[in-house]
């Protein structure tokens, strides 16, 4: 099956710093999402981005499907950005969803 | 518009018991999928339902089962619980256009003693 790896696995930032999280996948996908898991466990939608670039406030994401990776940019980080970030992909049709390994982000004041 | 609702939020069971978890999707959504999250295995796909039919299934033993009702609400059942079944179980609702975009509930945290 498809392999999805995220890097870095852990990241500590000073408040106000910028960061880039990466998601690499081993096969073609037709569906990619980024999520932020809050401390209570809920997965919050950040982006649905099978290809191209999207922006939402301080966050933006880019997926280059032909090169099999996606990037999540966080600018001017805040302590509330702390948590675990996951990417999730689905290959063609109605194939099962595969989650990445996650990036644990800690933003310190 | 209400989000995805999962019940119960927390529960404690003992080995050998069974458990049923419920998930109500966003109104109008017909797809529901289930995931297990453990520290050791990460987030793993359990199964997906669309219009009461199981559309896909992950690599879990037969003790894990699910179903979807005509109102799109879904339940999953785990029989003969094992310690390793302790996990956060997450349910996701699929969008109206069924593009594959997922919207998650808050999860049901199961502890097996």
pLDDT at B97: 58
pLDDT at A92: 65
Identify the residue among A23, A35, A41, A47 best suited for mutation to test binding to B, counting B beta carbons within 10 A and taking the highest: A41
CB atoms within 10 A of CB B12: 12
- Using the CB atoms, write b or e for B68-87: b if 16+ within 10 Å: beeebebbbebeebeeebbb
Identify the residue among B8, B37, B89, B102 best suited for mutation to test binding to A, counting A beta carbons within 10 A and taking the highest: B102
Query: Which has the closest alpha carbon to B100: A55, A69, A97, A65?
Result: A97
pLDDT at B14: 98
Which is higher by pLDDT, B29 or A72? A72
Which residues does residue A59 pair with via DSSP β-bridges, in sequence order?
A: A56, A74
pLDDT at B101: 86
Q: What percent of chain B has pLDDT over 70?
A: 95
pLDDT at A7: 97
Mean pLDDT of chain B: 93
pLDDT in tens, A69-106: 999 999 999 999 999 999 999 886 667 889 999 999 99
Mean pLDDT score, B79-106: 88
CA distance A46 to A72: 9
pLDDT at B109: 97
Q: Say if the Cβ atoms of A99 and B44 lie within 8 Å.
A: yes
pLDDT at B100: 76
Query: Which has the closest alpha carbon to B36: B90, B100, B73, B80?
Result: B90
CA distances in angstroms from B51 to A51, A69, B31, B33, listed in the order given: 28, 32, 7, 12
Give the DSSP letter string of B42-87: EEEEEEEEETTEEEEE-S--TTEEEEE-TTS-EEEEE-S--GGG-E
Which residues between 12 and 71 in chain B have a beta carbon less than 8 angstroms from any beta carbon of chain A?
33, 35, 37, 42-45, 48, 50, 55-58
Mean pLDDT score, A14-21: 97
In this structure, are residues B103 and B24 in contact, taking their beta carbons and an 8 Å threshold? no
Which residues does residue A53 pair with via DSSP β-bridges, in sequence order?
A: A62
Name chain B contacts of A44, Cβ cutoff 8 Å. 104
Which is higher by pLDDT, B30 or A5? A5
A94 near B CB under 8 A: yes
Given pLDDT bands bounded at 50, 70 and 90, which one contains residue B39? confident
Given pLDDT bands bounded at 50, 70 and 90, which one contains residue B94? confident
Which is higher by pLDDT, B31 or B16? B16
pLDDT in tens, B53-73: 998 899 999 999 999 999 999
pLDDT in tens, A19-76: 999 999 999 988 899 999 988 889 999 999 999 999 999 999 999 999 999 999 999 9
Mean pLDDT score, B72-79: 97
CB atoms within 10 A of CB B57: 14
């Amino acid at each position: 099956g498809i392999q999805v790896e995220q890097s870095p696995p852990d990241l500590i930032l000073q408040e106000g710093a910028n960061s880039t999280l990466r998601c690499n996948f081993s096969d073609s996908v037709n569906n990619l999402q980024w999520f932020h898991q809050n401390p209570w466990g809920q997965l919050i939608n950040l982006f649905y981005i099978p290809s191209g670039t999207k922006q939402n406030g301080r966050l933006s994401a880019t997926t280059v499907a032909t090169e099999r990776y996606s990037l999540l940019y966080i600018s001017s980080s805040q302590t509330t950005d702390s948590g675990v970030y996951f990417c999730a992909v689905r290959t063609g049709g109605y194939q099962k969803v595969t989650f990445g390994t996650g990036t644990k982000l800690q933003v310190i004041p | 518009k209400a989000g995805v609702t999962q019940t119960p939020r927390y529960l404690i069971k003992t080995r050998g018991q069974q458990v049923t978890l419920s998930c109500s999707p966003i109104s109008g959504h017909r797809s529901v999928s289930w995931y297990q999250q453990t520290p050791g295995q990460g987030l793993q796909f359990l199964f997906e339902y669309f219009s009461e039919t199981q559309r896909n299934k992950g690599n879990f033993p037969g003790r894990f089962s699910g179903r979807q009702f005509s109102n799109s609400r879904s339940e999953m059942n785990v029989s003969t619980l094992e310690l390793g079944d302790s996990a956060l179980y997450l349910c996701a609702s699929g969008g109206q256009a069924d593009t594959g975009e997922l919207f998650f509930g808050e999860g049901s945290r199961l502890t097996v003693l």
